[in-house]
Structure 1
Amino acid sequence: MTREPKPLILGRREWVALPDLGLFAIKAKVDTGARTSALHAEAIEVFGPASAPRVRFLIHPLLEKPDVAVWCEAELLGVREVTSSIGERENRYIISTRLSVGDREWPIELGLTNRGGLAHRMLLGRQALQPGMLVDPAQSFLLPKLSSRLYRAHA
């Protein structure tokens, strides 16, 4: 008899990492009402050949430390029209990257957008959640805090 893995319970906000992008600690809002995930990005630039486009962008991963800036680069999967929570339609650059939450890692798709003025630099939508994950909307930060000190070590 095989044992089912223990469910991973997430709060409505969690510390996550995007290791392929060099983002070691970022607060994400877990939103099961949102289909797609989004990452606040600035200075977005598409480059490379049309057959294999890439995208470069600037991330300020810590709202409380605006001086921390990380340049990221990823393969561009495409551009998709996404409807925001307030009903506005926007074309977003879509990338794929690894998400690290607790002791688990898996690939997700992310839309790059301007989340300036919002409380979280990242929104984790339901497509990024895996089977066996539960969200407790009454709780926040159920998983260990990730260290922002790693940004200084890679600066």
Structure 2
Amino acid sequence: MEKNIKLIKPVRKYPLIGWREWVSLPELNIFHIKAKVDTGARTSALHAFSLNPFIENGKQRIRFDIHPLQHNTEKIITCVADVVDRRLVTDSGGHEEERYVIQTPITMAGQTWSIEITLTERENMLFRMLLGRSALRKRFIVNPARSFVTTRIPKK
């Protein structure tokens, strides 16, 4: 190896986050939910059950329940959101599922912005939320060796 080679440190334009972070979905009254940062997934996904679509003032909306904390099925939050789409989504196992899509603000690392989230049953999954690359694009750099870089773990 040549002695004169200098390693250049990249200029970090975006804040660093880990492979899992605590996030908030304030319009859904979800103030602490652990999200797996999944750059392999295009769209974000949220664990939801008891989905109840309805029409209100001519707009399609959906009411759903969520268990926001891992390993805790006693705490339930009921959410209501506008439906922006229904999409066929292929999961990591290759299974296709038609899902409701909502748009809602997310807060992470001191930033708040709007993202699209698909609603799906994730009861048996470790994380109640996946944060896909569309939500992260041009906002963060992901370090897969780190966890909870931007947030403290809330007291349960």
Residue in 2 that maps onto 1:102: 109
Alpha-carbon distance between aligned partners in 1 of 2:99 and 2:105, rounded to the nearest angstrom: 19
State which drifts further: 130-139 or 74-83.
Answer: 130-139
Q: How many residues align?
A: 146
- What's the % identity of the aligned pairs? 45
Tell me, what secondary structure is at the counterpart of 1:53?
A: strand
Residues 76, 26 of structure 1: alpha-carbon distance in 2 compared, 3 angstrom cutoff: same
Runs of 5+ in structure 2 lacking a partner?
Answer: 1-10
Alpha-carbon distance between aligned partners in 1 of 2:62 and 2:80, rounded to the nearest angstrom: 6
Instruction: Please report the TM-score for the alignment, with normalisation by the length of structure 2.
Output: 0.87
Alpha-carbon distance between aligned partners in 1 of 2:30 and 2:79, rounded to the nearest angstrom: 9
Q: 1:20–1:98: 8 Å Cα contact kept in structure 2?
A: yes
Q: Are 2:127 and 1:125 equivalent residues in the alignment?
A: no
Q: Which has the larger radius of gyration?
A: 2
RMSD: 1.8
Q: Are 2:140 and 1:145 equivalent residues in the alignment?
A: no
Tell me, what secondary structure is at the counterpart of 2:134?
A: helix
Q: Deviations over 1:88-124 (max 9, x none)?
A: 1100000000010020000000000011211100000
Instruction: Please report the TM-score for the alignment, with normalisation by the length of structure 1.
Output: 0.88
